Chains A and B, each alone.
Chain A
Amino acid sequence: MTRDFWLPHRIVMAALFAALVVWCVMTLRWDWLPDYLGLAAQGIWRTLWLLALSLLLGMTLAVPLGLAQAAGPLWLALPARSFCTVIRGTPLLLQLWLLYYGLGSLFPQIPWIRQSDLWPILRQAWPYGLLALTLSFAAYEGEVMRGAFRGVGKGQLEAAKSMGMPRLTILRRIWLPQALHRALPTLGGETVLQLKATPLVATITVVDIYAVASRVRQDTFITYEPLLLLAVVYMAITGLIVLAFRHFERRIPTRTA
């Protein structure tokens, strides 16, 4: 925060904000906090690892999806395009419920599934939440990667090809790193959007921080305080994500043409 940031009106606003926070802490009801702190910590942890894992798996899926659409033959590009269109065209909540309750309603018709090794996993709710979040992220980022792959200068790829570089090496050394670099700012925004999508898993019994806040609300009938605290938690995590991405963007050397 440089000197230029702290203009007079900002100092006044910051003081007012601090006063508001103090007033909130003093007058609103916070007596429920000690009882639910453990549950809240678990909820935050679950939100974070669902986010991280769905980002990782989703990105792993998104790169081939983008590549297939940018450079693949029709029989690869078309399914990739349809997948992205369908997932991006329907609400995540619907996809989540379709996967959890829709598939769940098919289980009784497949009796042998209860004896299979997968059953302990199929029984729990988090795999479905993770799957829905992963597919959703993969579809949106597949679209972003498609644009990023197309945007890399054709000249470089042609030069490498004329040098006799094998296709996989071109991808690994030239195309992919540059595409990722182009996509980085957008990916930062998309990561925040993915964070905002995670509360939906609470509707299929996965206990993330939103579910904990709902639990407090339902147990104690206190409506605003848990929601306010929840909003603060999400803003804090968003702030961390934005800072992390800014750090990454600065580390990668750019020569703006």
Chain B
Amino acid sequence: MTKIALSLAAALMMTGAAMAETVKVGIAAEPYPPFASPDAAGAWTGWEVDMIGAVCKAAEMECEIVPVAWDGIIPSLTSGQIDAIMASMSITEERLKTIDFSDKYYNTPTVIVGPKGMDMAATPEGLAGKIIGVQVSTIHEAYVQKHFAATAAEVKLYQTQDEANQDLIAGRIDATQADSIALDAFLASAEGMACCESKGAVADDTEILGLGVGVGLRKGEDDLKAKFNAGIAKILADGTYEAVSKPYFASSIYGG
């Protein structure tokens, strides 16, 4: 009995301890098509998953993908459970207080999606009296709280964008704000196509919406940051970026 207990303890410790060389890259554990979503076999697929592979290969690093719940992903980084975040996390002033970021690897506009036929625009007046749903801990939540909370009827916070989309289909919320590509994927689905349409992009606010999506890193890890930056620069220069993006997007999402 003691032997079994000891060997079990040793096995559990070893699964953690010996991975000093592998970089643990955290992604959100919830589906976020087309960037990252699980398939029926349990493997993660998507543009961001492919991008992780490409960047790590270009930077000559061994990377392991670790799904972590979105609302705990930054504490996971700072407490050392993961070494990097590549979960479509935007570079913002607020986040830079706690963590560091690499150079950006994509930047897309932010849009509002609402039911077909409902009179709505992506402005504070256009959303007056509406119920808006956003994902917690995102730039979209910060934006909605700052610009739309005064006129909107209610702001509901969801653990995942997927749940917000689900409630939009069900009619519990009138609008949701998120990244245009993620919402395009939603509108391309059968339920999304039937219920909703895009209501336009929101006015820009660089302080909140940030300067694009980068790799989240712990403060002080300049070595790792340099490696990621080198990897991103390399794939942009040698065409791997386009090659990876081709199956997913018609044009480059690197952005200005």
Contacts and interface: CB of A to CB of B under 8 A. Distances in A.
A and B touch in the complex (CB under 8 A): yes
Interface residues of B, number: 24
Contacts of A123: 131, 171-172
B157 A107 contact: no
B252 to A, nearest CB: 31
Interface size for chain A: under 10, 10 to 19, 20 to 34, or 35 or more residues? 10 to 19
B167 A221 contact: no
A107 B171 contact: yes
B169 interface: yes
B81 to A, nearest CB: 12
A101 interface: yes
Interface stretch (B48-56, B158-166, B203-211): B158-166
B255 interface: no
A108 B71 contact: no
B137 interface: yes
**Could you say which of A114, A119, A214, A221 has the most chain B C-beta atoms within 10 Å of its C-beta?**
A221
Contact of A101 (B74, B131, B133, B163): B163
A201 to B, nearest CB: 13
Given A205-B156, A205-B157, A108 B170 contact: yes
Given A101-B166, A221-B74, A114 B156 contact: no
B156 A125 contact: yes
A221 B191 contact: no
B136 A108 contact: no
Given A108-B191, A223-B75, A205 B158 contact: yes
Given A205-B158, A215-B136, A221 B98 contact: yes
A189 interface: no
Given A125-B156, A218-B71, A104 B170 contact: yes
Contacts of B97: 221
A165 B97 CA distance: 75
A108 B171 contact: yes
A203 interface: yes
Nearest to A104: B170
B152 interface: no
A119 B166 CA distance: 17
Contacts of B194: 108
Nearest to A223: B75
Nearest to A119: B171
Contacts of B167: 104
A221 B71 contact: no
Given A214-B136, A218-B136, A114 B74 contact: no
Contact of A105 (B75, B156, B166): B166
Interface string A180-204: 0000000000000000000000010
A108 B169 CA distance: 7
B195 interface: yes
Contacts of A124: 172
Contacts of B156: 125, 205
B155 to A, nearest CB: 10
A123 B194 CA distance: 19
Contacts of A203: 159
B75 A221 contact: yes
Interface string B73-89: 01100100000000000
A154 B31 CA distance: 58
A184 B12 CA distance: 44
**Could you say which of A123, A211, A218 has the most chain B C-beta atoms within 10 Å of its C-beta?**
A218
Interface of A: 101, 104-105, 107-108, 114, 119, 123-125, 203, 205, 211, 214-215, 217-218, 221, 223
Which 5 pairs from chain A and chain B are nearest by CB? A104-B170, A218-B137, A107-B170, A221-B98, A205-B156
28 contacts: A101-B166, A104-B166, A104-B169, A105-B166, A105-B169, A105-B170, A107-B171, A108-B169, A108-B170, A108-B191, A108-B195, A119-B171, A123-B171, A124-B172, A125-B172, A205-B133, A205-B157, A205-B158, A211-B157, A214-B71, A214-B136, A215-B136, A215-B157, A217-B71, A218-B136, A221-B74, A221-B78, A221-B98
